[in-house]
Amino acid sequence: MTKSVTMNSPHLAIRLCVCAVLFIIVIYGCAHQRPPRETATQYRFVYQDATYRIRSITAPNNSSSYNELIGENFMAADYDQDQVIDLIVLGDVPLNEAQQIYEFGLNEVKQDNKLQEQMPSVNRYFLEKMDYYMEIRSFRPYNSRPFNEFKILKSRRTDDSDISVFADNNADGIIDDILK
């Protein structure tokens, strides 16, 4: 004997309604969950009669936050927001010239009390010897080749004038540029 189920059964109708409501709630809840987004802020400034922008891209949890220096004919990046230009992304401006412009712009931002300093901690190697502190930072950006940055500081420095910064553009252990 076969038992047939019809919509006249009140229990089946209630179960179907409850399932439909739960399905709609689950779909609605999933559709409205957005992943955290990057935010971008920028600051315009004038340096030697030319207009530049510093754009700060902030990722959730500061996982991949970075700054860009944008000029009329170039774009440079500070991948770890340590106030040192790491790479010229577009254009042919010398790295040390971009660094000078970037420092000027950061000082303007500082004077307007809009600078938030970050303390990067990944891919850093330290050595302190006598009166000097040395640091190597390794970068592996997703859109370009890996490179290293090498800094030498006096241990008892009072300002940024004692900093020397060098770039190893190919991450091959050879210093290619003097940044500062």
Calpha distance 39→54 (Å, rounded): 14
Q: Is 18 exposed, middle or buried (0-12, 13-18, 19+ CB in 10 A)?
A: exposed
pLDDT of residue 101: 95
Task: Using a pLDDT cut of 70, give the percent of the chain over it.
Answer: 65
Global pTM?
Answer: 0.54
State residue 141's pLDDT score: 64
How far is it, in rounded angstroms, from Cα 166 to Cα 180? 7
pLDDT at 52: 96
Give the closest residue to 69 by CA, choosing from 55, 81, 57, 58.
55
- pLDDT tens for each residue of 29-51: 555 555 556 688 889 999 999 99
User: Nearest-CA neighbor of 146 among 104, 95, 86, 106?
Assistant: 86
| Res 46: pLDDT | 94
State both tokens at 63: 């996982």
What's residue 158's pLDDT? 59
Beta strands in the chain (DSSP E): 39-47, 50-58, 66-70, 75-78, 87-90, 124-129, 132-139, 147-154, 164-168, 177-178
State how far the Cα of 153 lies from the Cα of 140, in Å rounded to an integer.
Answer: 24
